[in-house]
Structure 1
Amino acid sequence: MRYFIGLAWALGIAAGPAMADQIVVGSHITAVTVYPQGAQVTREVEFTAPAGASELLITDLPADTQAELIRLQATGVVLGAFSLRTDRLPPRDDSTDPDVVAAKAAVEAAEAGVRAAQAGVDAISASVEAAEAQADFLRRVKPEGAAVTVDGVKALTAMIGAEVLAARQAALTAGLGLPAAQKAVEDAQKLLTDAQASQQALSQGAADYTGLSVAVTADTAGTAHLVVTHYVSEASWQPVYDMMLTRKDPKLTIARGVLVSQYSGEDWQAVDLTLSTAQPSAQAEPSTVWPELRRVYDPVEMAKSDAMAGGEMGALAEPVMEAAVVGAPMIQGDVVVYNYPAKVDVAGGVENLRLALDEITLVPTIKAWAVPRYDQTAFVMAKFVNDSGEILLPGQAFLLREGVLVGATSIGVVAPGDEAEIAFGAIEGIRLKREMPLRAEGDRGILSSSTQVEEKAVLQVENLTAESWPVRLVDGVPYSEQEELEISYTADPAPSEVDVDGQRGVLAWEFELGAGEKKAVQLDHVISWPEGKELQ
């Protein structure tokens, strides 16, 4: 039986049974669905319900639980009104949790161990101190009376020497055990520190929390079961990838993982974890397109009256600005859901927890990408088609080439069947140079007049590595959209591709560059325009 928030929640405790028995219980988190922002938490409660009406008080919900998103489902009882309570709550007690009880016992045992180890140090120190005191006393003994004879002095001296030696030997013998005893104290103290840390991690008695009060009715006394689902805002997840590229027998291995974090105020221990790309806290409906009024006006007439200019321009500006503020409808594809196959612990308020999902292996096309206009070295580019049948979500990717970490990047959505390119760092052995050998007054490599500019450039790629590389060399020339502005260019050799990716004037050459080889491309262009005009 499922109950949704509505009138029952609005009425709260006032709708519950008067003077009903109160059952105070804790809950156990069994499942969590994490969204890019926020999470839905499922808790389960087992309790014994008396016959008739009673109040069930669950005392361990996080303080930021959103009441309007609570849902309940029960077996063994009939549910009535329910509400959140932040005051008049009983003290939170962790003593019934077996893990907490065990942690407390471990702390007590460790404290006893520290005391015992310290007692050992104290006993050794006392023995050393007693022996030293005995030796010090014997040194101060002097012969008096009848003992002041040659034989008496000799006998007393021999006795004192023997006793001092024995006392010193006893002190040294006792002191030999002191380092081991002190080490035992250090070890015991470390065990105590670890046990206290474990206990603190388990105990949530000091954390902020709220209570959920539920009116329940049972026909007969017996065991009942309640499932509570609620939403917390301080949780998130994001994809993360390790992209591993090998050039021999080209292969791109993508290890998919996720980073999960939560600051709900409690730990999620041994939960069923689901990751969803749904965004319940984001825009859920399309934007509105408003009417856009446009007008024309005579600028000469408009300039005659400042008041008119201000009034009319204000009227014109308002709908234009309003239209600019309104964004396009948010477009989302199908919701992607990952069900993690094992139970997961996600501690609250700590660093991101990284979980591995799976690996995808793709066959890339690998090239050395050369842009001598801006770079001094070529870069490895891997182009691939996502034929895995799995979507790659936006996220951070760590890049490894031949097993070596070469950098990190961010990737966008790569749907099944989509093509994508990823850069895998510089190739230090492929050097680039862009020279402009033409010399004249003014800039090196440029001849200019009042109506014409001529530029000559030599693009050079040199392979200093011990292996051959397929190279894609990219450069460009200016382009014009005016008939009176004429632009022409020559390239030797001719480019393999023009207007790369629809970008006018961008040129590309593709060729194989063997080990130790050098390749040069001559690229010239001329810009001409009418007398009296200026070039921008």
Structure 2
Amino acid sequence: MRFLLGFMLVVAAPLQAETIVAQSKITAVTVYPQGARLTREVAFTAPAGMHDLLVTDLPQATDPQTLRIAPSEGVKIGAYSLRTDRLPPRAAAKSADQIAAEAALEAATAVAISAQLALDGVTARITAANAQIAYLGRLGATDAKTETEVLQSTARMIGAEVLAAAQTALAARADLPAAQKALKAADEAQQDAQAALEALSRPDKDYAALSLALSLAAPGPGVIELTQFVDAATWSPLYDIALDRAAGQVVIDRALLVSQDTGEDWAGVALTLSTAQPGNRPDPTTLWPDLHRIYDPAERSEKSVGRFASPAPMAEADMAVGGMAEPVMEPALMTSVAFQGDIVVYAYPNPVDIADGVENLRLALDQIAVPASSKAQAIPRYDATAFMMAEFSNNSGQILLPGPATLTRDGAMIGQTQLEAIAPGAKTTLGFGAIEGLRLKRSMPSRAEGDRGVFSKSNQIEETAVLSVENLTDEAWPVRILEVIPHSEQEDLVITFVAVPPVTEQDTDDKRGVLAWDLTVPAGQTQDITLSTRESWPEGKELNAPRY
């Protein structure tokens, strides 16, 4: 009876806690402009009851504050801890590719050994034949005093043996190049196999171990999903922007460049790219009250300096109202990339591999074609040629994020630029390189006063400049010509100008004094603009202005 009761107690008691060692697999990654959120799965099989699950392949930089754990159905999670020191040993898991690479290296090593043995065999044949020839030579020298008939017989024997040994040596030398070539090929194959294995095997860096208590309602497989945030990952957009003047459009090929240095490889992960920046502050800078006071200078000068050496502390209410004791709140350090509009998320359709610290993965995103108007822009004051400019609107419905762009015009590569953020529906203008056939010149014709283009006296300056656009191409070009004249914010300084032909726009792009002409320059012709400027001010005053 006592035995039966003990047996029943054992059966009714829960199973003792068992430590289950498991490894995690990164299944999904969301990469931000700075940082990434990793999703891992830990699969295990265990009987019903309480267990300790030990996961030993987390990066050492794992932040316990960002670590989140979600069990599958039927699994309950208890307390857990993250350790980065005094860790239990772990067995490194090998992928199928690593196993195949190790087998290939082993086979290549065996071939290299066989090739070396074959070469050694050929060399041994040559060495043996040469040794035989040398021995026969010494043997003939020792028999010089024997009888003539014996000597003749010995000589014939030595000659025949030397001939056979020499032929053996020649045959071995004939086999030598092939053996050497085979050994070289085997060595190269072994080196390639070693490099392939090293490319698949990352160093065993420092790691962290996650230990958590769990219970299973029923025996069977279970899954624990881990999510964590890591800093050492980033992505940025890349653009190829092509201007097609004949079609009147700009074609934008968008790509993404992703890299990571998290301490572990990402293999076959579902990749999502987000424009969110979780490292930035979530709220605006605080504004503090700004108290201004007035005082009587005479009354203040009568007071002793010593009275103000140790002012009485302000009341808490005064501090709140006046803000005198509140610190100045500086904005938090922001990243260099500025985003507009809502957060954009890109989900790449196929699994990707990104090696730790050695790989920049470029992924094609999509292609956008938008209508564009193009014209030449000329600034004769500074440039020798006009430049192609294209204006277009972002009608893609998505924000175009800041990033480097490679530019082509009518199929020819022009160069690179840094694209600024373009919000949906926003209009922008991009330059597409110099137009060598549109030559620019700014001259100042001689005047009767002897100065070159400038007439000045004590309270007046007159200046005349001629802006020229020479079209050396075989097509007519629409050209926007820009020039700047002085502007004044004083009533006494009067600035006037006369332009022939008249300007199309004044204070262009809200820039004071910037003039614009929209003209068409026929093929093989030159378009001149004469611009005269006058500045005048009262007698007795002086003009203080920089000259270009």
TM-score, normalising length: structure 2: 0.85
SS at match of 2:349: coil
CA-CA distance at 1:197 after TM superposition:
2.7
Match of residue 516 from structure 2: 508
Give the Cα separation in 1 of the matches to 2:467 and 2:89. 77
The percentage of aligned residue pairs carrying the same residue is 50
Counterpart of 1:200, as a letter, is E
Match of residue 61 from structure 2: 64
Match of residue 167 from structure 1: 165
CA-CA distance at 1:140 after TM superposition:
3.9
CA-CA distance at 1:89 after TM superposition:
2.4
Match of residue 435 from structure 1: 443
- Post-superposition CA distance 1:188-227 (Å, at most 9, x none): 2233223223323333461121111111011232111111
Match of residue 374 from structure 1: 382
Give the Cα separation in 2 of the matches to 1:260 and 1:133. 66
Match of residue 12 from structure 1: none
SS at match of 2:131: helix
- Post-superposition CA distance 1:363-392 (Å, at most 9, x none): 211111111111111111111112222321
Give the Cα separation in 1 of the matches to 2:155 and 2:475. 92
Conserved? CA contact 1:94–1:100, under 8 Å = no
Conserved? CA contact 2:281–2:332, under 8 Å = no
Match of residue 46 from structure 1: 43
Conserved? CA contact 2:16–2:50, under 8 Å = no
Give the Cα separation in 1 of the matches to 2:193 and 2:147. 67
- Post-superposition CA distance 1:294-313 (Å, at most 9, x none): 456789999999979x99xx
Conserved? CA contact 2:53–2:211, under 8 Å = yes
SS at match of 1:67: coil
Counterpart of 1:259, as a letter, is L
CA-CA distance at 1:242 after TM superposition:
0.7
Conserved? CA contact 2:267–2:353, under 8 Å = yes
1:55 aligns with 2:52: yes
1:129 aligns with 2:127: yes
Unaligned stretches of 5+ in structure 1?
1-16, 312-317
Give the Cα separation in 2 of the matches to 1:176 and 1:517. 78
Q: Return the index of the structure with the highest Cα Rg.
A: 2
SS at match of 2:65: helix
Aligned residue runs from structure 1 range 257-406, under 5 A:
257-294=255-292, 325-326=330-331, 333-406=341-414
Conserved? CA contact 1:287–1:328, under 8 Å = no
Unaligned stretches of 5+ in structure 2?
1-13, 310-322
Counterpart of 1:168, as a letter, is A
Give the Cα separation in 1 of the matches to 2:370 and 2:223. 48
Number of paired residues? Answer: 513
Give the Cα separation in 1 of the matches to 2:198 and 2:474. 58
- Post-superposition CA distance 1:40-73 (Å, at most 9, x none): 0001111012321111011111111111111111
SS at match of 1:112: helix
CA-CA distance at 1:266 after TM superposition:
0.4
Give the Cα separation in 2 of the matches to 1:426 and 1:229. 51
Q: Give 1:238's match in structure 2, choosing from 233, 236, 239.
A: 236
Match of residue 189 from structure 1: 187
Match of residue 432 from structure 2: 424
Give the Cα separation in 2 of the matches to 1:106 and 1:468. 66
**Could you say if the C-alpha distance between residues 46 and 535 of structure 1 is closer, same or farther in structure 2, counting changes exceeding 3 Å?**
same
**Could you say if the C-alpha distance between residues 370 and 137 of structure 1 is closer, same or farther in structure 2, counting changes exceeding 3 Å?**
farther
Conserved? CA contact 2:271–2:352, under 8 Å = yes
CA-CA distance at 1:482 after TM superposition:
0.8
SS at match of 2:172: helix
Give the Cα separation in 2 of the matches to 1:185 and 1:380. 60
Conserved? CA contact 2:268–2:351, under 8 Å = yes
Conserved? CA contact 1:400–1:424, under 8 Å = yes
Conserved? CA contact 2:57–2:207, under 8 Å = yes
Aligned residue runs from structure 1 range 87-236, under 5 A:
87-145=85-143, 159-204=157-202, 206-236=204-234
1:528 aligns with 2:536: yes
SS at match of 1:199: helix
- Post-superposition CA distance 1:171-200 (Å, at most 9, x none): 232223333322322322233223223323
Give the Cα separation in 2 of the matches to 1:377 and 1:322. 54
Conserved? CA contact 1:62–1:210, under 8 Å = yes
**Could you say if the C-alpha distance between residues 111 and 297 of structure 1 is closer, same or farther in structure 2, counting changes exceeding 3 Å?**
farther
RMSD of the alignment, in Å? Answer: 3.2
SS at match of 2:20: strand
TM-score, normalising length: structure 1: 0.87
Conserved? CA contact 1:438–1:456, under 8 Å = no
Give the Cα separation in 2 of the matches to 1:66 and 1:109. 43
Match of residue 86 from structure 1: 84
Conserved? CA contact 2:378–2:440, under 8 Å = yes
Aligned residue runs from structure 1 range 27-46, under 5 A:
27-46=24-43
- Post-superposition CA distance 1:137-190 (Å, at most 9, x none): 334443555775677666655554554444333323222333332232232223
Counterpart of 1:48, as a letter, is T
Give the Cα separation in 2 of the matches to 1:156 and 1:515. 104
1:497 aligns with 2:527: no
Q: Give 2:250's match in structure 1, choosing from 245, 249, 252.
A: 252
Q: Give 2:459's match in structure 1, choosing from 444, 451, 455.
A: 451
Give the Cα separation in 2 of the matches to 1:146 and 1:331. 103
1:485 aligns with 2:485: no
Give the Cα separation in 2 of the matches to 1:510 and 1:466. 20
**Could you say if the C-alpha distance between residues 327 and 21 of structure 1 is closer, same or farther in structure 2, counting changes exceeding 3 Å?**
closer
**Could you say if the C-alpha distance between residues 473 and 295 of structure 1 is closer, same or farther in structure 2, counting changes exceeding 3 Å?**
farther
Give the Cα separation in 2 of the matches to 1:116 and 1:441. 98
Match of residue 315 from structure 1: none
1:410 aligns with 2:408: no
Match of residue 9 from structure 1: none
Give the Cα separation in 2 of the matches to 1:469 and 1:353. 42
Give the Cα separation in 2 of the matches to 1:298 and 1:470. 66
Give the Cα separation in 1 of the matches to 2:387 and 2:217. 75
SS at match of 1:195: helix
SS at match of 2:188: helix
SS at match of 1:37: coil
CA-CA distance at 1:531 after TM superposition:
1.7
CA-CA distance at 1:432 after TM superposition:
1.2
Q: Give 2:478's match in structure 1, choosing from 470, 476, 479.
A: 470
Conserved? CA contact 1:66–1:231, under 8 Å = yes
- Post-superposition CA distance 1:215-240 (Å, at most 9, x none): 10112321111111111111111111
Counterpart of 1:275, as a letter, is L
